[in-house]
């Protein structure tokens, strides 16, 4: 059985994107190009123990155990749970779910990545609601098992119908997930909760770790595990500032700390806080602080 290379299902660990499964897939839909879907099948000759540090995905992930019984120690959004995963067990991890796991004895796994937009497209929902999935760990679900096995069979046959058949299976699976495991959550503008504390903390930690870089809205939304539109609204509700303003203010606060050190130049303070050049840094600093960096240094 040939090992497949190419695009991989990825998750985010810290600030880096890594493969969701450390093994190379023996089957993958990457070359077929199913829209909104990416399927991988992983096998190992021997039982093994795998410890996966905390991570999350911007897509929904389905895992189907097609090997031996596995004992899994999960940590989901800060809460611990142990499950016993029999062959045919399905785990549903919605986009943005922060999870770590210690898994033993699993020798064969199918993983399916589903773009949340696919569920939105296939879900019949009120105009004021968003489709969300609930976390489910190692549950028996014969319908999901059959659909994922059909995807595998299509790949084994070389996808004779091209992407059409696999995409049809994905659409059927998306509809089933919505019906059985989906909820319709009010859109953000209908509640005032902002970001949950854990997610807000992760975003703020990411900003603090990347003040030297050009922090993008899309990267922050990925860390929070929500869409860019929802993130911008929720972040302002939580902090009172837009993401752009918050990042600028944190950069200026860091620059102030650097300027207190007489061994650091204004240029270094500019570079260390991610500004494109010193003149831009000076202009933003004066707009927020009221004086230039050099004047600030003299006064303090």
Map out the domains of the chain as residue ranges. 10-186, 191-299
To 5 degrees, how large is the angle CA 13–CA 14–CA 19? 20
What pLDDT, on a 0 to 100 scale, did the predictor assign at position 214? 78
Q: What is the CATH number of domain 10-186?
A: 2.60.120.10
Q: How far apart are CA 234 and CA 250, in angstroms?
A: 19
Q: How far apart are CA 196 and CA 127, in angstroms?
A: 24
Average pLDDT over residues 112-140: 75
Is-contact 91 138, C-beta < 8 A? yes
**Displacement of CA 83 from its chain's centroid (Å):** 23
Structure confidence by residue, pLDDT tens digits, 276-291 = 778 888 988 988 899 9
Structure confidence by residue, pLDDT tens digits, 67-78 = 888 888 998 877
Q: Is the pLDDT of residue 187 over 70?
A: no
Is-contact 178 131, C-beta < 8 A? yes
Task: From the options 2.60.120.10, 1.10.10.60, 1.10.645.10, 1.20.140.10, give the CATH code of 191-299.
Answer: 1.10.10.60
pTM for the model: 0.63
Is-contact 109 65, C-beta < 8 A? yes
Q: Is the pLDDT of residue 265 over 70?
A: yes
Q: How far apart are CA 50 and CA 109, in angstroms?
A: 13
**295: Cβ–Cβ under 8 A, 6 or more apart, which residues?**
none
Burial 68-91 (b: 16+ CB within 10 A, else e): eebebebeeeeeeeebebeebbbb
Q: Is the pLDDT of residue 203 over 50?
A: yes
Average pLDDT over residues 79-83: 89
What pLDDT, on a 0 to 100 scale, did the predictor assign at position 155? 92
What pLDDT, on a 0 to 100 scale, did the predictor assign at position 2? 43
Pairing of strands 60-65, 89-93: antiparallel
The residue with greater pLDDT, 218 or 59, is 59
Q: Is the pLDDT of residue 65 over 60?
A: yes
Structure confidence by residue, pLDDT tens digits, 240-260 = 888 888 998 999 999 999 999
What pLDDT, on a 0 to 100 scale, did the predictor assign at position 131? 67
Its sign, for the CA torsion 105, 110, 111, 116, is negative
Confidence of residue 219 (pLDDT cuts 50, 70, 90): confident
SS3 at position 291 = coil
Q: Is the pLDDT of residue 190 over 50?
A: no
The pair of structure tokens assigned to 289 is 């602080």
Its sign, for the CA torsion 123, 56, 70, 73, is negative
What pLDDT, on a 0 to 100 scale, did the predictor assign at position 79? 84
Helix intervals (H) in 182-292 = 197-209, 217-224, 228-239, 243-259, 266-272, 278-289
What is the residue-averaged pLDDT of the chain? 84
To 5 degrees, how large is the angle CA 233–CA 18–CA 8? 100
| Closest CA relative to residue 9, chosen from 122, 142, 89, 114 | 114
Start-to-end Cα distance in the chain: 68
The pair of structure tokens assigned to 153 is 């069979």
SS3 at position 30 = coil
Burial class (CB in 10 A: 0-12, 13-18, 19+), 240: exposed
Beta bridge mates, 43: 108
What pLDDT, on a 0 to 100 scale, did the predictor assign at position 6? 66
Q: Is the pLDDT of residue 165 over 50?
A: yes
Is-contact 219 203, C-beta < 8 A? no
Number of C-beta neighbours around residue 95 at 10 A? 21
Q: Is the pLDDT of residue 97 over 60?
A: yes
């Amino acid at each position: 059985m040939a090992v497949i290379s190419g695009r991989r299902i990825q998750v985010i660990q810290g600030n880096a994107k890594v493969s969701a499964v450390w093994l190379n897939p023996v089957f993958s839909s990457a070359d077929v190009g199913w829209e909104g879907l990416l399927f991988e099948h992983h096998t190992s000759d021997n039982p093994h123990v795998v410890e996966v540090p905390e991570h999350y995905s911007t897509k929904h992930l389905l895992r189907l155990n097609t090997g031996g019984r596995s004992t899994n120690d999960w940590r989901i959004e800060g809460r611990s749970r142990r499950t016993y995963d029999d062959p045919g067990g399905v785990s549903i991890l919605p986009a943005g779910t922060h999870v770590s796991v210690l898994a033993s004895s699993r020798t064969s796994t199918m993983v399916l990545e589903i773009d949340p937009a696919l569920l939105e497209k296939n879900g019949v929902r009120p105009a004021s609601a968003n489709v969300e999935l609930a976390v489910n760990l190692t549950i028996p679900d014969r319908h999901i098992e059959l659909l994922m096995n059909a995807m595998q069979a299509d790949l084994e046959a070389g996808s004779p119908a091209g992407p059409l058949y696999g995409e049809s299976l994905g659409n059927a699976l998306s509809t089933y997930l919505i019906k059985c495991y989906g909820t319709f959550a009010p859109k953000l503008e209908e509640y005032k909760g902002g970001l949950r504390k854990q997610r807000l903390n992760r975003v703020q930690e990411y900003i603090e770790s990347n003040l030297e870089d050009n922090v993008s809205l899309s990267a922050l939304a990925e860390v929070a595990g929500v869409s860019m539109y929802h993130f911008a609204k929720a972040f302002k509700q939580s902090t009172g500032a837009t993401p752009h303003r918050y990042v600028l203010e944190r950069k200026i606060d860091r620059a102030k700390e650097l300027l207190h050190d007489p061994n650091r130049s204004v240029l270094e303070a500019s570079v260390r806080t991610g500004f494109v050049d010193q003149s831009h840094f000076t202009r933003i600093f004066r707009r927020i602080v009221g004086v230039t960096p050099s004047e600030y240094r003299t006064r303090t």
